[in-house]
Amino acid sequence: MDMVLIPLFAGIGVAVGLYARAVPQGGRSWWGFAAATVALALAARLAGHGWAGTLLAAAAELAAAGMIWSQSPAAARKYLLAIGLGILATSAALALTGFGEIRPATPLDRLAVALLMIGMALKLGLVPVYFWLPAVARSCSAMTTALIIAVVDVGTFCELLALRPIAPWMFEPYAAVWGALAVASLLGGALLALAQNELKPMLAFSSIDDMGYLLLGLAAGGAEGLAGAWFGILGHALGKLVLFGAVGAAEWSLGRPVTLQTRGLSSRLPVAGAAFMLGALGFIGIPPTLGFAGHWRLYQTGLELGGPALVAAMAAASAMALLCYVRAIHRTWLGPMGSHEARALPRLAAAVLLVLALVPVAFGLAPDRLRPASEIHVAAIRTGSVP
């Protein structure tokens, strides 16, 4: 049983539920689809690596479409196109390889690798097939996007992590292609995040940037790479949840989207402001947050995989992320309050945000507390015994 992701998903489900009680995220159908998404993702983790797990994960991905559809059918169509094709491509790749156990003859092996790459790129929203993620972020409530990123995408990435040791032939000979996909995502995501005016799409692009980092760890493999990806994905899930949560709180308070023209929200929403800042610091990878524990390993992995040039690219992406988040913090949260009216945040939502913001810092101060779980998981990944 997955002793990390299952509690993580369950915790996220509870946190989102409590938050959504205080700050409404959608109607009755939203609640139903959100609960189904989390439950199916949990079930997929319980089922493990195999057809049952894959089908349950696909069901979770499709249930998430229901959340989106209830708020924006146009965004849901884009999401369904990407996820539908992604499911088809990855399922075909898994079928061709017997879930990675069999290496088919050339050119079927190459076809399987290409299908896996395109399928995962579509599902994770990597550059250049990220089209659904900003569309969903723009038109749906904050926690809808947060759930998709923190539960659905994280589950998908963990499927890929599970496949890594079972079928190393799908990764090691093609490390350059996986690496190119990762670099395109981390640089493209960071650059496009910098160009956004609205905060939710900005967070979506920053998520693409972060996924690029994690993919690098996966492509490189090895203990450091996989541990980096593992710590990174946990930080990614918690960080994105708190960031979207803070922006969602601000949207609810203002009654309109939060943009770089919004001013001084911390005066009215100090907890949301502090949560956004802590989340951003974790995302940038500043110690002592959990983000640093992941980034530090991923830098080492980047050096092994692509030498100083790749490390320089990673640093450039991190620098752009820093500029992007610092600009958002200072234009939106700090400074004098703008002329807009803003409601105070309900205590329940503030408490949830505070806890979510402090957890990555607590684990960042003592990442070793996560190490037993991480080591078991990474060892299991490396030996191919992931459930």
Partner 1 sequence: MHPTTLPILLLLGGFAVQILLARVLTPVGKGVLATAATLAAFAASLALVPGSMDGAVAEAALLAPWDAGFTIGLRVDGLSVLFMVMGTGIGAAILLYSVRYMEHEAQGTTRFYATMLVFIAGLLVLAGAADMLGAYVAWEVIGLCSYTLVGFWYRQPAAADGARKVLVITHLAGYGFLIGLVLVHSRAGSLAWTDPAVADAFTSGVAALFIVAAMAKSVMFPLHTWIPEAMNAPTPVSALLHSACYVKAGVYLIARMYVVGDGRWLAAMGTPLLAVGCVTILVGVIFALAQTDLKRLLAFHTVSQLGYIVVALALGSELGLAAALFYCLSHALFKGTLFLCAGAVQHATGTRDLRELGGLAASMPGTARVWIVAAASIAGVPLTNGFVAKWLVFGAALDKGLLAVVLVGWIGSILTAFSFLKATVNAFYGAPSAALAGRTIHDAPPSMMVGMGAMAALCLVFGLAPQLLMLPIVAPAVRSLGFGWSVEMGWLGILTSQGTLAVTVGAGAVLVSGLLGLAVYRLAQAPAGGLVSVYSGGEPLPAGDRPGAVDFAGMAEHAFHPVYSLDPDPLYRTLWHGLTRIAGRARVLARATLEDRPSLAIGLAAAALAAGVWLV
Which residues of the shown chain bind partner 1 in the complex (CB under 8 A)? 78, 81-82, 85, 107, 110, 113-114, 117-118, 121-122, 127-132, 134-135, 173-174, 176-177, 180-181, 188, 191-192, 194-196, 227, 264, 266-267, 281, 286-288, 292-293, 296, 299-300, 303-304, 308, 311-312, 315, 318-320, 322-323, 326, 329-330, 334-337, 365-368, 371, 375
Tell me the closest approach of the beta carbon of residue 8 to partner 1, in angstroms.
Answer: 19
Nearest 5 degrees, angle CA 179-CA 324-CA 298?
30
Shorter beta-carbon distance to partner 1: residue 56 or 181: 181
Q: DSSP of 158-218, one letter per residue?
A: HHHHHHHHH-GGGTSTTHHHHHHHHHHHHHHHHHHHHT-SBHHHHHHHHHHHHHHHHHHHH
Shorter beta-carbon distance to partner 1: residue 79 or 244: 79
Shorter beta-carbon distance to partner 1: residue 14 or 195: 195
Tell me the closest approach of the beta carbon of residue 127 to partner 1, in angstroms.
Answer: 8
Shorter beta-carbon distance to partner 1: residue 34 or 89: 89
Shorter beta-carbon distance to partner 1: residue 52 or 195: 195
The CA distance from 93 to 28, in Å, is 37
Structure tokens at 376: 């078991």
Q: How many CB atoms lie within 10 A of CB 347?
A: 10
The CA distance from 16 to 8, in Å, is 12
Shorter beta-carbon distance to partner 1: residue 102 or 312: 312
Q: What's phi and psi for 286, nearest 5 deg?
A: -90, 130
The DSSP secondary-structure symbol of 269 reads -
Tell me the closest approach of the beta carbon of residue 263 to partner 1, in angstroms.
Answer: 9
Residue type, 154: V
Alpha-carbon Rg for the chain, nearest whole angstrom, is: 19
Q: How many CB atoms lie within 10 A of CB 21?
A: 14
Shorter beta-carbon distance to partner 1: residue 56 or 112: 112
Q: DSSP of 225-239, one letter per residue?
A: HHHHHHHHHHHHHHH
The CA distance from 341 to 277, in Å, is 22
Tell me the closest approach of the beta carbon of residue 20 to partner 1, in angstroms.
Answer: 28
- Nearest of 180, 186, 230, 229 to residue 206 by alpha carbon: 186
Tell me the closest approach of the beta carbon of residue 151 to partner 1, in angstroms.
Answer: 23
End-to-end CA distance of the chain: 6
Shorter beta-carbon distance to partner 1: residue 42 or 277: 277
Tell me the closest approach of the beta carbon of residue 51 to partner 1, in angstroms.
Answer: 25
Q: How many CB atoms lie within 10 A of CB 383?
A: 10
CA distances from 300 to 148, 226, 229, 290 (A): 29, 11, 12, 16
The CA distance from 272 to 66, in Å, is 28
Shorter beta-carbon distance to partner 1: residue 18 or 361: 361
Strand residues in 6-77 grouped as ranges (E): none
Tell me the closest approach of the beta carbon of residue 128 to partner 1, in angstroms.
Answer: 5
Tell me the closest approach of the beta carbon of residue 329 to partner 1, in angstroms.
Answer: 8
Tell me the closest approach of the beta carbon of residue 178 to partner 1, in angstroms.
Answer: 9
Residue 259, classed as helix, strand or coil, is strand
